[in-house]
Amino acid sequence: MNAASVDRNPWTVRNGDRPPALEIALLKNTLVLSWNQFVFAEGGDDEIRIAFASHDVVVRGTGLTALLQAITANQVSSIREPTRSERFPAQGARFVREIEVRRVDGD
């Protein structure tokens, strides 16, 4: 596994075997979304949207282009929401500031 951050690894990338699911570790709960339900991902360096059949995940931060590329290749096994003290990284570092998860309504 490789980590895409200098310090506390806000996301984990698996090279080689594709992980079966993406784990979203929020401060108060954890959500596991199957890569079989992945629809698309879009965004840029400061915000990306990851769409699954049942949920939309919005990740905000800095240096997220590397995360977006790994997401589109289904190589990310986990993304971790930072604690309050981790939301201000060193200048130029890649980091996740916040993660927002929304359930997709079937109606």
What pLDDT digit, counting tens, does each position of 42-92 carry?
999 999 999 999 999 999 999 999 999 999 999 999 999 988 766 665 556
**Count of all residues that appear for the chain in the document:** 107
Query: In whole numbers, what is the pLDDT of the chain averaged over residues?
Result: 86
Q: Which of 83, 31, 36, 82 is nearest to 57 (CA)?
A: 31
pLDDT for 105 equals 83
- In this prediction, residue 17 carries a pLDDT of 83
Task: Determine the pLDDT at residue 91.
Answer: 58
Looking at the DSSP assignment, which residues form a beta bridge with residue 34? 21
Number of structural domains (the chain) is 1
- Sign of the alpha-carbon torsion through 14, 16, 19, 22: positive
Whether pLDDT at 37 is above 70: yes
Place 29 in a pLDDT band, splitting at 50, 70 and 90.
very high
Q: Which domain holds residue 78?
A: 2-103
- Collapsed DSSP state (helix, strand, coil) of residue 5: coil
